[in-house]
Structure 1
Amino acid sequence: MIETVPTPAGDARIHWHPAPRARLVLALGHGAGGGVEARDLQALAAALPAHGVTVALVEQPWRVAGKKVAPAPKTLDAAWTALWPVLRKPGLPVVAGGRSAGARVACRTAAGLGAAAVLALSFPLHPPGKPEKSRADELLGAAGAGLPVLVVQGAKDPFGRPEEFPSGTRPVPVPHGDHGFAVPKKADVGQEEALAGIAAAVAEWLAGVGG
């Protein structure tokens, strides 16, 4: 089911993937270079309803409008915040999450919105080749607010490899994965196996979230 929601930045869309007996809602935003069709978002939407998790893939207004460049962070945050009452409508705890830029939005806003936890997929810890320009404060801010935080990171992600993350975060590595969790064809882990591993790790973590 696709639900259109007005926000200060324009109309957004929520792509609902309901669980038969849901106990949580996992809201996932997309990155700045793609949309909700990203392989990891789709893999989670397919796998998690069987674990009692309704997945809501959030399509930001700039993508709905057909634009190719994401707006400023405060605009992304404002649209995400405006969507929150709709995400809470099922009356269940909501886990804030996303991939890349969407993970940053989730981290920046989770505590203020009352999220149950934060899932950061391919968190862009720094621009490629510029580790001195760290965004760790966004990630640590969510954890510092007392929220459970799970980071899932490609082992070869140029925006930050798992071993680069600061203490207080323990990323789940995706072997051979890049920023989009793509793995080379010659790797000892296939693409579908990598995506299944991501889904399994997230499902296991979510089992302990939300009481």
Structure 2
Amino acid sequence: MTTTETTQLVETGAGTARVTWHRAREARLVLAVSHGAGGGIEARDLRAVAAALPGHGVTVALVEQPWRVAGKKMAPAPKTLDTGWRGVWPALAAPGLPVIAGGRSAGARVACRTAAELGAAGVLALAFPLHPPGKPEKSRAGELLGAGVPTLVVQGGNDPWGKPAEFPDGDFQLVEVAYADHGLAVPKRAPLGQAEALAVVTDAVVKWAGSLG
């Protein structure tokens, strides 16, 4: 199943966002995923998802927040990120298909905070930052637990922002990528290679998305 890639600029209340579409030939869902506060859509897990999901009937939209499009180095406040995401949503919903809200790290927090109000079909949280490194008392679990829609968390087994065992019980699925860090990278000494680790990510997302549509 072939895909086509196109880019779209979208004006939002936080500035101009950019959406890179990886379209499935016969799509049944749209998976919209945004980046974290320290990187862009070139992140390994976002690229892996964009490459894998269209072959399973899921169009992937990689969303760049306005601050990244503008070339800024630091992410703005959470409410500004939410404003940017809300502004992109009509473009994501334009194909007329159910839309999964997703993101990595800070982008996952945005997806959780806004999913219910935007009518998302689900939330994909890649490397959810449960707490700042070394500060488990500053938990963001409330954002995850409050998403209000089917949620999949894909978390590195050695993520300093929250290891899988630290997550609370709740109405979400959690898939662990063994040995992986916050960028879902695995050390060279790990028993599984980087390609295998990314296959854990994409296989989990494909299976979960299939349960939604």
Q: Give the TM-score band, short-chain normalised.
A: over 0.9
Query: In the alignment, which residue of structure 2 is the partner of 1:54?
Result: 59
Deviations 1:6-32 (A, max 9, x none): 111111000000001100000001000
Q: Which runs of structure 2 are paired with 1:141-160 in the superposition (5 Å)?
A: 141-142=146-147, 145=148, 147-160=149-162
Query: In the alignment, which residue of structure 2 is the partner of 1:15?
Result: 20
Mapped partners of 1:197, 1:82: distance in 2: 32
Query: In the alignment, which residue of structure 1 is the partner of 2:211?
Result: 208
The aligned amino acid for 2:141 is A
Secondary structure of the residue aligned to 2:19 is: strand
Mapped partners of 1:170, 1:24: distance in 2: 19
Structure 2 gap ranges (5+)? 1-5
Matched, 1:29 2:34: yes
Structure 1-normalised TM-score? 0.97
The aligned amino acid for 1:10 is G
Secondary structure of the residue aligned to 1:45 is: helix
Secondary structure of the residue aligned to 2:30 is: strand
Aligned length: 207
Q: Quick check: 32-41 or 192-201, which moved more?
A: 192-201
Q: Runs in 1 of length 4+ with deviation above 3 angstroms?
A: none
Q: Which runs of structure 2 are paired with 1:113-192 in the superposition (5 Å)?
A: 113-142=118-147, 145=148, 147-168=149-170, 169-192=172-195
Matched, 1:199 2:202: yes
The aligned amino acid for 2:87 is A
Mapped partners of 2:200, 2:26: distance in 1: 23
Q: CA deviation at 1:170?
A: 3.8
Q: CA deviation at 1:182?
A: 0.6
Mapped partners of 1:81, 1:74: distance in 2: 10
Mapped partners of 1:130, 1:8: distance in 2: 33
**Percent identical:** 70
Mapped partners of 2:24, 2:45: distance in 1: 18
Structure 2-normalised TM-score? 0.96
Among candidates 53, 67, 73, match of residue 68 of structure 1: 73
| Structure 1 residues 141 and 92: alpha-carbon distance in aligned structure 2, compared to 1, 3 A threshold | same
Mapped partners of 2:83, 2:72: distance in 1: 17
Structure 1 gap ranges (5+)? none
Mapped partners of 1:8, 1:60: distance in 2: 11
Query: In the alignment, which residue of structure 1 is the partner of 2:49?
Result: 44
Mapped partners of 2:141, 2:48: distance in 1: 26
CA RMSD of aligned residues (A): 0.6
